[in-house]
Amino acid sequence: MAYDRILLDITDGVATLTLNHPQTRNALSWALAEEMSDALDRLEGARVLVITGTGKAFCSGGDLASEVAEGLDFGRMMYNGIEHSVNPMLLKLKDLPIPVIAAVNGAAAGAGTPLALMADFVIAAHSAFFYMAFPNVGLVPDCGSSFLLPRLIGKARAMEMMMLAERIPAAKAEEWGMIYRSVPDDQLQAETSALATRLANGPTVSYGIIRRNVQAAMEGDLGSTLHDEAVGQRIAGNSKDCAEAVSAFLEKRTPVFRGE
């Protein structure tokens, strides 16, 4: 699939997926979502994924200029695009067996906010902000916002964002525990690269299990979580990375993980 709205690069185990449609400020159109979905199937050799945007925005949200096909109303068009293009991509992103970093270089508005928050680590430039603008245009939060935000920052702050459409600067998002880190604009690329390299050189099998278990625990109960952790420990304990770590410990050296 040829890409018109994203870029994909895989170098040294780091996959970088860049939203690249500056004329819409990287809006999460149906076409862009479908390109992202295709790219998520092409991460062979990647041990970490970085999602970022070109220009002054990370993602400006849904593309309200989308054409409505004959015979459909606007609401049905929105429903079809979300259900058939956006949601399948988000579920695929959720199920990735490698860590995900969102490098938020500018505005993460509307659907851009939950897209970023799907990542395991969100690093945002100081000038970036998160903005749930849905009610300003008579719409409701989507892309998992209603699931993610209350769990990350609590109901009160989630409702502030979703109903009052208050812009949340990167520094406040970090203070709230919504994101991993806020950094000066000129340090975003370096901070992201350093974290991506660290994860790419880590025990990928272990990271994938941690990612899956945390996601399951957000939806499950303690008993299920305890069981998932035990199963994950069995898988991780049999990995080559674990064997390498044990050998390195006994030999008093730094382990070299290969993601196996």
Predicted local distance difference test score (pLDDT) of residue 232:
87
pLDDT (tens digit per residue) in 210-258: 999 999 999 888 898 889 888 888 998 888 888 888 898 889 899 989 8
Residue 115 pLDDT more than 90? Answer: yes
Predicted local distance difference test score (pLDDT) of residue 70:
66
Tell me how far apart the alpha carbons of residues 80 and 135 are, in angstroms, rounded to a whole number. Answer: 20
86 φ/ψ angles, rounded to the nearest 5 degrees: -80, -55
Residue 178 pLDDT more than 80? Answer: yes
Q: Can you tell me which residue has the tokens 């890409």?
A: 3
200: confidence class by pLDDT, cuts 50, 70, 90: very high
The amino acid at residue 101 is: I
Higher-pLDDT residue of 76, 37: 37
DSSP 4-50: SSEEEEEETTEEEEEE--GGGTS---HHHHHHHHHHHT--TT-SEEE
Residue 106 pLDDT more than 80? Answer: yes
Predicted local distance difference test score (pLDDT) of residue 238:
87
Domains and CATH numbers, the chain: 6-200 (3.90.226.10), 204-251 (1.10.12)
Higher-pLDDT residue of 77, 58: 58
181: confidence class by pLDDT, cuts 50, 70, 90: very high
Residue 66 pLDDT more than 70? Answer: no
In this prediction, residues 87-97 reach a mean pLDDT of 96
Pairing of strands 107-109, 57-59: parallel
Element (H, E) at 107: strand 107-109
Burial class (CB in 10 A: 0-12, 13-18, 19+), 144: buried
Residue 65 pLDDT more than 80? Answer: no
Residue 64 pLDDT more than 80? Answer: no
